[in-house]
């Protein structure tokens, strides 16, 4: 019997038992629905991470730290030997830990390494407040502008090179500081209140005046007095970002030299002076993976931790993969459960059609063709279940995608990205699983004795 005839006959056989076929297919559809949405969410999350990386990091740079705990690789269950460079750092989980930091001497050593083109420090200054004349005071953080960062502007422009006492003002500060719109802010002055550290000499002077050194009111007053007011000109207003590094959405970006100067003011006379959790090291010809890897190894040989942008990207996508794998596991369980439904359905079909099988054999149909007939029926069930589940997932996902994107503030990105090739492969795999599930019932049908089958009531 030719293959096309077997496929058509298997389809007609399923039509004769529509209820049973649909119910079995729906069991497969449940798992298919979950797996289709999981694949789409994985595609969307991966695309978003890739976009964040590409718009915030230079692929020719290495992220370098003195402490492996910066990258979450250290064994925190054991105490670390003290080093004067140690300082406090907060992990993504919210835990406060002590980490070894990059010093000026370390930067000098790294700059001397073959293949290192430039070094920029990771600098952010927690301002006492930001304000302008006649307006309220607001908290703010000034960060060093990364020239590789893709900043979408509402108004103004960023000079190249970006230097001087200029600031890129986030959209969120426009109305707060009393500007009518983004254009009205361009060229205007804003004031940064940069906190200075309270020195031991000031505490001694306070004690000499009879004030309690630990008195909260006295310390608060001293902190308020220990500020330096710096004026910056708004050169551009940045649009609310959707692909910025988490926590930097309201950063007031200023030139790297200015950020370094404010950081020095804030940390002068403290153990934190000119010490950094990590730095960015640009590699000569860093777009070449071999050159990047070679320089990375030289940095590691000096005892530093070095991670490429690609490794950071892989780390983040691996986390997404693990989370998506957990969700996909539930869909796989539903499909595994439906396999037993297929086996049960096919066995019932064999029992109900015993006389039909005997007649087909009596008319000359080969065992191989009878086995194929029932395996094609199983494949049809897998195909129907896969199509029903994936089509519903695509339609529902497409409908709710705009709402999810808006809720998560993903901008022009989408959380659910459906790829036709992936859906087709998923349906094909489900058909294969169904064929395997129908293998035993098809063997039973193929081995039936035609004489005994025809005698069956």
Tokens coding 60: 């020719």
Tell me the two tokens of residue 264: 């020095």
Using CA atoms, how far residue 168 sits from 151, 178, 180, 224, 251, in Å, is 10, 16, 17, 26, 9
249 compared with 13, residue with greater pLDDT: 249
Q: Is 152 helix (H, G, I), strand (E, B) or coil?
A: coil
Q: Which tens digits make up the pLDDT trace of 48-76?
A: 888 877 777 888 889 999 887 777 655 66
pLDDT on residue 47 = 83
3-state secondary structure of 142: strand
Half-sphere exposure of 281 (CA within 13 A, CB side): 31
How high is the pLDDT of residue 218?
59
- pLDDT tens digits for 322-364? 767 776 777 777 777 777 777 777 777 666 666 666 666 666 6
Q: Which residue has the higher pLDDT, 306 or 324?
A: 306
pLDDT level of residue 94 (50, 70, 90 thresholds): low
Computed over every residue of the chain, the mean pLDDT equals 80
Query: Quick one: which of 399, 315, 362 has its CA closest to 53?
Result: 315
pLDDT at residue 72, as a whole number? 65
- Which is more confident, 124 or 17? 124
Number of C-alpha atoms within 13 angstroms, CB side, residue 342? 35
Q: Is 42:321 a contact under the CB 8 Å cutoff?
A: yes
Residue that wins the pLDDT comparison between 217 and 149:
149
- From the number of C-beta atoms within 10 Å of its C-beta (0-12, 13-18, 19+), residue 97 rates as middle
Looking at residue 455, its pLDDT comes to: 60
Domain ranges of the chain: 3-51+315-455, 124-271
Mean pLDDT of 196-220: 60
Res 155: pLDDT? 93
223 or 410, greater pLDDT: 410
**Residue with token string 């063709």:** 369
Q: Evaluate if residue 187 carries a pLDDT over 80.
A: yes
């Amino acid at each position: 019997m030719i293959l096309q005839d077997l496929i058509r006959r298997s389809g007609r056989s399923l039509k004769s038992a529509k209820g049973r076929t649909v119910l079995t297919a729906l069991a497969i559809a449940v798992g298919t629905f979950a797996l289709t949405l999981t694949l789409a969410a994985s595609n969307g999350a991966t695309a978003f991470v890739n976009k964040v990386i590409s718009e915030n990091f230079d692929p020719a740079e290495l992220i370098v730290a003195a402490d492996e705990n910066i990258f979450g690789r250290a064994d925190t269950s054991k105490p670390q030997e003290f080093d004067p460079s140690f300082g406090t750092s907060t992990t993504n989980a919210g835990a406060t830990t002590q980490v070894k930091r990059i010093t000026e001497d370390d930067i000098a050593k790294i700059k001397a390494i073959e293949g290192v083109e430039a070094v920029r420090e990771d600098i952010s200054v927690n301002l006492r407040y930001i304000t302008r004349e006649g307006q309220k005071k607001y908290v703010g953080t000034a960060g060093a502008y990364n020239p590789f960062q893709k900043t979408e502007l509402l108004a103004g422009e960023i000079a190249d090179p970006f230097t001087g006492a200029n600031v890129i003002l986030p959209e969120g500060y426009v109305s707060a500081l009393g500007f009518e719109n983004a254009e009205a802010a361009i060229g205007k002055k804003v004031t940064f209140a940069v906190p200075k550290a309270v020195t031991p000499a000031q505490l001694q002077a306070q004690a000499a005046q009879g004030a309690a050194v630990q008195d909260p009111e006295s310390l608060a007053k001293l902190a308020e007095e220990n500020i330096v007011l710096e004026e910056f000109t708004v050169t551009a207003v940045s649009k609310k970002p959707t692909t910025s590094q988490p926590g930097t959405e309201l950063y007031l970006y200023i030139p790297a030299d200015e950020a370094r100067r404010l950081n020095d003011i804030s940390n002068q006379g403290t153990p934190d002076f000119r010490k950094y959790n990590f730095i960015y090291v640009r590699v000569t010809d860093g777009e070449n993976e071999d050159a990047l890897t070679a320089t990375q190894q030289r940095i590691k040989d000096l005892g530093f931790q070095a991670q490429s942008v690609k490794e950071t990207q892989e780390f983040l996508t691996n986390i997404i993969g693990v989370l998506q794998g957990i969700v996909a596991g539930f869909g796989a369980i539903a499909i595994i459960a439906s396999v037993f439904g297929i086996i049960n359905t096919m066995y019932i079909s064999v029992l109900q059609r015993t006389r039909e099988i005997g007649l087909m054999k009596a008319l000359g149909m080969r065992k191989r063709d009878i086995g194929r007939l029932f395996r094609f029926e199983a494949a049809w069930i897998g195909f129907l279940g896969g199509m029903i589940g994936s089509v519903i997932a695509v339609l529902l996902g497409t409908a709710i995608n705009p709402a999810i994107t808006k809720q998560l503030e993903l901008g022009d990105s989408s959380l659910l990205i459906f790829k036709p090739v992936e859906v087709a492969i998923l349906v094909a795999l489900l058909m294969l699983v169904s064929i395997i599930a129908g293998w035993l019932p098809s063997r039973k049908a193929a081995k039936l004795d035609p004489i005994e089958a025809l005698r069956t009531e």
